[in-house]
Structure 1
Amino acid sequence: MSKHIALGVDIGGSGIKGAPVDLRTGELTEDRYRIPTPQPSTPDAVARTVAEVIARFEPSRKMSVGVTFPGVIQDGIVKTAANVDDQWIGTNLRQIIRDYAGHDVVVLNDADAAGYGEFKYGAAHERDGSILLTTLGTGIGTALIVDGTLVLNTEFGHSEIDGVEAEEYAAESSRERHNLSMDEWIVHLQRYYSEMEKLLWPDLIIVGGGVSKHSKEFLPKLRLRAPIVPAELLNQAGIVGAAAHAHHVHQRNADAAKAAEKKAKKHRH
């Protein structure tokens, strides 16, 4: 496989799917390979399945591999696990996948991966400024990219609106749970996005999640300063973003190592 290819794997509640991505275009170079998420979704069972997905594409040692996870991840360690098994909290996801797959990986939050994918190849098209991605689904996932840099682990779905968590107030699941009409839900969305604008002053807001397929029914009715547009990569965003971000991290680390070596050489002379 060429040096312009990286592998992305997306851990979801119902399926774990992966594919190689052409980093020049953001397109998949082979069909996605998907395995149902094991139940119970314990760290060992999931890491084994991720390793199986990785092995399917036989990546070279040098290939970047990115893996998404539905929770906050710091230094490879899972800090929250809302929609998967509680055993995950405190697990070193990067290490456990490396143990099973025999390949190093970069791990990141699933909304962060989707946001980075949309920034590189989707609705944001690498534009400057502050870009906010929100996924409206069971909860509200968020990603913030500022001048091309992904700000990891933003959790703006947990901000409070009138004493209620935003997810409970404006997620797609809350519309179904509270039996809101589209117009009633739009009032909730308006309140949520107005709050985000007040806090973050984004230059662009991207809306993902399954409901983005019906974006014409609600996005044009929101009155905001920033343009608000539907996501473009849809259910490939996690795979594409994970691959692109893993490549970016490896490139950054390689550049830093090169710079340190150059500096050391200079001191020796």
Structure 2
Amino acid sequence: MGRQGTPLGIDVGGSGIKGAPVDLEQGRLAQKRLKIATPRPATPDAVAEVIDQIVDAFAEQTGDSPIGVTLPAVVIRGRVLSAANIDPSWVDTDAEALIKRHTGRAVTVLNDADAAGLAELHHGAAQGAHGLVILTTLGTGIGSALIHDGVLVPNSELGHLELDGYDAEKRAASSAKDREGLSWDAYVDRLQRYYSALEALFSPDLIVVGGGISRDADLFLPRLRLRAPIVPARLRNQAGIIGAAWRAVDLAVASG
């Protein structure tokens, strides 16, 4: 009989792999997170070995509890269909089976923005929200999560909507502001075009904006003219870890 402990969330990013046990009652990390540099190249086995190190580091606290892992990728039933900021060899990898082989633990794998969206819904800026919530993360690209009445519609990839003949993230991600040296005025114009397009297509009840640039939310969010409220994410760089752990526990309960 295994020992149940605190669920573990692990967030795989392009530069670092971060993990921590999660207190799902409080919606916060139960311990200081451990961060290990993402291996180069970030092949499936190399990343799984780092995940195993994080699992081992928190073994005393987590016991045999579920593990949730985020990837910067489209993930369907544990299988990876795309690869952003990780090695192309991830495509068509059964990530859940691979990580389970390395760790010996039950694993749930999901898209990183989807995990952040779940965290913000249950413990952050979208807590108590009804109807359709869209979370976007503005960073190197634009990640997105679609959640309707508490149910995640996974792998939405709304950073790839066409905007002025480009992938939207090429024009409106925070990396575009930095790369092109855009003023806040010019960047707000880009964001207005992007979020107006989202609103026209999906009519959300709430938009939540995450990513590092959300720390400066006061400089741009109040300037956007939309029907739906648009608010900054609250959980910042903990959102992926918290959302991954939440999803793992939710699916474990659902499966009995």
Q: Normalising by structure 2, what TM-score?
A: 0.96
Give the residue type in structure 1 aligned to 2:50: T
CA contact (8 A) 2:5 2:63 kept: no
Task: Report what 1:7 is aligned to.
Answer: 8
Q: How does 1:23-172 map to 2 (within 5 A)?
A: 23-58=24-59, 59-61=62-64, 63-172=65-174
Deviation at 1:82, TM superposition (A): 2.0
* Pairs aligned (count): 253
The 10-residue stretch of structure 1 (220-229 or 4-13) with the greater mean CA deviation from structure 2: 4-13
Q: Compute the TM-score of the two structures, normalised by the length of structure 1.
A: 0.91
- Kept in 2, the 8 Å contact 1:115–1:145? The answer is yes
1:4·1:24 contact (CA, 8 Å) conserved in 2?
A: no
For structure 2, the 5+ residue unaligned runs are none
| Segment drifting more, 118-127 vs 218-227 | 118-127
Q: CA deviation at 1:164?
A: 1.2
Matches within 5 A, 1:211-230: 211-230=213-232
Structure 1 unaligned residues grouped into runs of 5+:
255-269
| 1:231-265 deviations in Å (ceiling 9; x for gaps) | 000000000000011111111111xxxxxxxxxxx
Q: For residues 106-162 of structure 1, what are the alpha-carbon distances to aligned partners after superposition, in whole Å with 9 as ceiling and x for unaligned?
A: 000000000100001000113221100000000000001100001110011001012
Q: Is the 8 A contact 2:170 2:176 kept in 1?
A: yes
Q: C-alpha displacement at 1:3, in angstroms?
A: 6.1
The percentage of aligned residue pairs carrying the same residue is: 52
**Dislocated runs of 4+, deviation >2 Å:** 2-5
| Cα contact 1:70–1:81 (8 A) shared by 2 | yes
Deviations 1:154-198 (A, max 9, x none): 011001012211001111111122221110010010010000001
Q: Which residue is equivalent to 1:186?
A: 188
Contact 2:172 2:190 in 1 (8 A): yes
Q: Deviations over 1:11-70 (max 9, x none)?
A: 011111111111111111111111111111111100010011011111322x12100000
- CA deviations on 1:60-89 (whole Å, 9 max, x unpaired) are 22x121000001011111111021111111
- Cα distance in 1 between the residues matched to 2:216 and 2:175: 15
Q: Could you tell me how far apart the structure 2 residues matched to 1:5 and 1:21 are?
A: 6
CA contact under 8 A between 1:4 and 1:22: conserved in structure 2? Answer: no
The answer to whether the 8 Å contact 2:6/2:63 transfers is no
Q: Is the 8 A contact 1:16 1:50 kept in 2?
A: yes
Match of 2:125, SS state, is coil
Q: Tell me what 1:242 maps to.
A: 244
Distance (whole Å) between structure 1 residues aligned to residue 163 and residue 149 of structure 2: 28
2: CA distance between counterparts of 1:198 and 1:3? Answer: 46
